Amino acid sequence: MNGAREIALPSARGNLAALRWSPLRTPDAAPVRVLALHGWLDNAASFAPLAPHLDGIDLVALDLPGHGASAHRAPGYDYAFVDWIHDVLDALDALGWERAVLLGHSMGGGIASLVAAAVPARVERLALIEALGPIGGRVEDAVTRLRTAVAARRVADAAPAARLVRTLPSREAAIDARLAASSMTREAAALIVDRNLRTVDGGVAWRSDPRLKLPGHVRSDEATVQAWLGAIECPVLVLAADPSPPYFSPSIRDARLHALRDGRCVEVKGGHHLHMEQAEDVAAVLHPFLVGAP
């Protein structure tokens, strides 16, 4: 995939799969190490359009657990947001990277934000596309959210695993299904879908864990999210789509930017997957920051 090679990274909660784009070695400069984290129900392939435009960068795009070719959580366990932090740290450890630049899109950006807040010594710079911290929740919705999530989890745990698997007749049908759920070009959807399909009797099925679609039990309130963001010590660059999605509105974004010690935002015309659909334009803004250019 555009010069990428598959790698496997051991983790305490199961092996992690990733795509790696390594630049040619030059005697005068070591490549910048960047770990890329994708959005919810995406996978490492979402960074394939961007990779050719990131010269001099050793780019590793992770399949987060339950996505793409990475292991699923063990039966009976949830995809709690805090565990993503440990998955990222496990990946950095497996790569032998004591310190790296984190690049995150959407949910991956929320995860990267918390890694930078929790373990600032491991993150050199933080580049976020359509994210700054995790999606927050209103205090008045906390009880309803908890009850809904617990009920959904109990139903899923009681169901035979086969019942949770959705079979589709073909790859094209899978791309259509993805486009029905997400606004993006067909080419972008195909990249994500192709890494997330397996062949089954009667057609194809998703490799991603069906439990990823269960509602979360807890969302942090906005004050807590901003406190986390205030603990980030490295420079932060946010790339925001114009028009913005409702869950990352300019008002939320600006308040969170204000909480940062060293952060700035650049708006780019496009949709939520702008790093796939306007890869060259995004890279023109992103690349200087990733390499630490003044």
Catalytic residue IDs: 106
How far, rounded to the nearest angstrom, does the alpha carbon of residue 92 sit from its chain's CA centroid?
15
CA distance 222 to 247: 12
**Which three-class secondary structure string do you get for the chain?**
CCCCEEEEECCCCCCEEEEEECCCCECCECCEEEEEECCCCCCHHHHCCCHHHCCCEEEEEECCCCCCCCCCCCCCCCCCHHHHHHHHHHHHHHHCCCCEEEEEECHHHHHHHHHHHHCHHHEEEEEEECCCCCCCCCHHHHHHHHHHHHHHHHHHHHCCHHHHCCEECCHHHHHHHHHHHCCCCHHHHHHHHHHCEEEECCEEEECCCHHHHCCCCCCCCHHHHHHHHHCCCCCEEEEEEECCCHHHCHHHHHHHHHHCCCEEEEEEECCCCHHHHCHHHHHHHHHHHHCCCC
CA distance 78 to 216: 9
